[in-house]
Structure 1
Amino acid sequence: MAPAYHLAERVSLAGRNGFRVASRAELFIDVRRAEALPELFAMPYLQRAPLLVLGEGSNTLIVGDVPGVVMAIGGMGREVLARDDDGALLRAGAGERWDDVVAWSLGLGYAGLENLVLIPGLAGAAPIQNIGAYGTEVGEFIQTVEAWDRQAGALVRLDRADCAFGYRDSVFKRDPARWLVTAIELRLPRRHPPRIGYPGLPEELALLGAGDAPRPAQIAEAVSRLRTRKLPNPSMVPNVGSFFRNPVVASAHALDLQRDEPSMPAWTVDDGALRKLSAAWLIERAGWKGFREGDAGVSAQHALVLVNHGQASGAEMFALAQRVALSVHERFGVWLEPEARIVGARWDAPGARAAFASAAAPA
């Protein structure tokens, strides 16, 4: 049997972060079986050293080298735990590629994940970020998350309510030092009302000849085509997808903005007291789409995507992100928050706005 884990020092992380920026881990541990975790966390060094849990890093910006321990969970397989007439309970190890999990579930005849196709990253990252796209979030289908709880020193199971899912948020994201996700269990139905109201999706389905009741596989194909056309391929142009969250503001603020900018999209949230704005629209309106300085830039395909054209450092990507956010704040009074996870730098640290104020907007 292969070793349950492997340790190495001064390991390059360039291949484990979406921007492909240069970085090294002081100590890297590749975990292949969850039963190794008690032994690992009993090690004195792991008890006192900072820990970063990292998968493919498809949603991570690393600024500089990483001190302490970087731990990765690899593979751990997929299986059908239970079936009935209505659906099934599927389990995926944290190290399984998310897009493979989606394709596997569709191939078995279960619906629900079709709108989440082609999202990069691993299954273990899905609940942390509560990944979502085209009107669907993974938290809707997660029944249980298995995770190592560093506080309890044990492998535990959290049901959906315990995960406290929110918009691109979860208990795992709010307390990353405590949790290490090892597996997810998804309750998927055989039949699920299609979610096809997202702009562009009905037209893409029509081109596929899907009719009024598209099958999950057809929805997945339409979403794949839209994502491929709209977003730069991270394997060719390093990026982490949507860098910023769509901001939620008071309805009165949104209406004030729309008086000056009638084309600005806004969606009512909850009881109407709040509205969600399009971060991409705000960034593009502020003049950043297609911007490039050195190798750090904003995609010409989608303003929400920051890109590394070659040799940009993590610090340069971080500085660009702060400049974009400051520019949007100065123009619209809206402060953007990152959807991406930032390692090695503090977002909006004291003095950050002033530091970038002199060069906030593109020329």
Structure 2
Amino acid sequence: MPSPIALPRVFENYSLQALNTFGIDVKARYFVEIQSIEQYLSLLNSGLYAHVPHVFWGGGSNVLLTQDLDALVVKIAIYGIEVIKEDDQYVWVRAGAGVVWHDFVLYTVAHHWSGIENLSLIPGTVGAAPMQNIGAYGVEIKDSFDHLLAFHLHTHVLQTFDAATCEFGYRESFFKHDGKGQYLIAYVCFKLSKEAQIQTSYGAIKDVLQAKNILEPSIQDVSQAVIEIRQSKLPDPKEIGNSGSFFKNPTLPQNQAEVLMKAYPQIPHYPVAGSTDIKFPAGWLIEQAGWKGFRDGDAGVHAKQALVLVNYGKATGQEILRLSEKIKSSILTKFGISLETEVNIL
């Protein structure tokens, strides 16, 4: 008979300050780190923490903590990267949910597997990536996603989800709606191309490459260009607390979009794939409303990128939340657009 899985160590009144990129100092009533589904199942079977909600934790890069959590915070530390299948054109690469996303991207780029190089330097973990359908510079997770394995919290069955069942949308998925709070994502598999699929048309990638006189870029060149762009615009959470983009870029039906573009001819805008809707940069709207570089105590708006709210030191989650609500109200008044929050508020 196999040996029973030992219960992982559970901590009480555990500070989450080092585990969220905003650097907000709140505590979890209980905290545990799990390295396998079997470990978590042993914890469930013990019944010891059934009296509190379980909150799953990745890199803490897409969350704003506004209060202590009366919960068991479960840090997903399932690691490992492996090739599970390949043919002449593609390779299927599966990674544990706890793998740092950027480390995974660099791993694929180093192996010359194309598909996610435009997503370099996005904070967070592999397991959180499909929940958000993360995207940047013209690429989204769904473009190279093959399947994921998720543990159902009630049936205790490991289920396979393909792209259709994940119901991907713009920063959306099944796991943020109907599946919210029902699954623990354990592994994610991507189908990547052995031939470079270069995409440089979005953002400043092409400009950065041209400045380096790189006319036929490799995926390594694209990845490095994205890294440099992000580092020039976004603050390092180790230096200034932040969660990257705080708001989603709004999309409008074509008729409403045309009214907005007529009123503001200089407004940047982008088509939405598979739709007649038009997407507008939330950062541009926020900057036009005068918020860029704004600071109230230690809560502020980054001076180089208005889409990023920051903690300059000792701001509370409530203070940053209040600032975000003021910005949303301002954008609604000026542009008639309701901004949606991209980060999760806890």
TM-score between the two structures when normalised by the length of structure 1: 0.90
User: 2:114 maps to which residue?
Assistant: 111
Structure 1 partner of 2:251: 248
1:130 maps to: 133
Query: Shift in Å at residue 221 of structure 1?
Result: 0.7
Number of equivalences: 342
Q: Look up the equivalent residue of 1:82 and give its one-letter code.
A: K
Counterparts of 1:268 and 1:83, CA distance in 2 = 34
Residue in structure 1 matched with residue 335 of structure 2 by the alignment: 332
Aligned twin of 2:207: 203
Q: 1 CA distance for matches of 2:212 and 2:189?
A: 32
Paired AA for residue 228 in structure 2: R
Contact 1:4 1:31 in 2 (8 A): no
Q: Which residue of 2 aligns with 1:165?
A: 168
Aligned equivalent of 2:190: 186
Return the letter of the residue paired with 1:189.
S
Counterpart code for 1:284: E
Superposition deviation, residue 109 in structure 1 = 1.8
Identical residues among aligned pairs (%) = 36
Deviation at 1:176, TM superposition (A): 2.5
- Displacement of 1:282 after TM fit? 0.7
2:171 partner amino acid? R
Structure 2 counterpart SS, 1:5: coil
Are the counterparts in 2 of residues 251 and 272 from structure 1 also a CA contact under 8 Å?
A: no
Of the three residues 22, 27, 46, the one matched with 1:24 is: 27
CA contact under 8 A between 1:135 and 1:195: conserved in structure 2? Answer: yes
Code of the residue aligned with 2:334 in structure 1: it is: R
Please name the residue that 1:227 is paired with: 230
Q: Aligned AA for 1:103?
A: L
1:96 match: 99
Name stretches of at least 5 consecutive residues in structure 1 with no aligned partner: 344-363
- With over 3 angstroms needed to count, the CA separation of the structure-2 counterparts of 1:275 and 1:156, relative to structure 1, is same
C-alpha distance in 2 between matches for 1:333 and 1:142: 35
Using the TM superposition, name which of 145-154 and 298-307 deviates more.
145-154
Deviation at 1:250, TM superposition (A): 2.4
Q: Which moved more, 1:184-193 or 1:39-48?
A: 39-48
Query: Given the alignment, which residue of 147, 150, 155 partners 1:147?
Result: 150
Q: Distance in 1 between matches of 2:153 and 2:323?
A: 35
- 1:171 to partner: Cα distance: 1.0
Q: Give CA deviations for 1:34-85 in whole Å, capped at 9, x if unaligned.
A: 2122222224354442121111211111111011211111142111212221
Counterpart contact for 2:34–2:78, Cα < 8 Å: no
**1:247-285: per-residue Cα shift (whole Å, max 9, x none)?**
112222222222221111222336764221110111001
2:290 match = 287
Q: Using the alignment, how far apart are the partners of 2:279 and 2:306 within structure 1?
A: 17
Counterpart CA distance in 2 for 1:273 and 1:77 is 40
1:270-310 alpha-carbon deviations (Å, 9 max, x no partner): 67642211101110011100000000000001000000000
Q: Distance in 2 between matches of 1:31 and 1:323?
A: 38
Report the aligned-residue RMSD: 1.7
CA contact (8 A) 1:5 1:32 kept: no
Is the Cα contact below 8 Å between 1:25 and 1:70 reproduced in 2? yes
Tell me how far apart the structure 1 counterparts of residues 66 and 335 of structure 2 sit (CA, whole Å): 28
Distance 1:60 1:77 in 2: 25
Q: Assess if the C-alpha contact under 8 Å between 1:128 and 1:173 holds in 2.
A: yes
Per the alignment, residue 303 of structure 1 pairs with 306
What pairs with 1:62-77 in structure 2 (closer than 5 Å)? Answer: 62-77=65-80
CA distance in 2, matches of 1:202, 1:4: 51
Give yes or no for the alignment of 1:317 onto 2:320. Answer: yes
Alpha-carbon displacement from aligned partner over 1:138-164 (angstroms, at most 9, x marks no partner): 122121111111132222221121111
One-letter amino acid matched to 1:265: P
Does structure 2 conserve the Cα–Cα contact (< 8 Å) formed by 1:208 and 1:222?
no
- Given residue 325 of structure 2, which amino acid in structure 1 is its aligned partner? Q
Any conservation in 2 of the 1:3–1:32 contact (CA below 8 Å)?
no
Which segment drifts farther, 327-336 or 273-282? Answer: 273-282
Amino acid at match of 1:200: A
1:50 to 49, 53, 72: 53
Q: Which range moved further: 323-332 or 80-89?
A: 80-89
**CA 335–144 in structure 1, closer or farther in 2 if over 3 Å, else same:** same
Residue 237 of structure 1, CA deviation: 0.8
> Structure 2 CA distance, aligned partners of 1:47 and 1:7?
13
- One-letter code of the match for 2:279? K
Once the two structures are superposed, what CA deviation does each residue of 1:302-343 show, in whole Å capped at 9, x if it has no partner?
000000000000100111111111110011110000111111
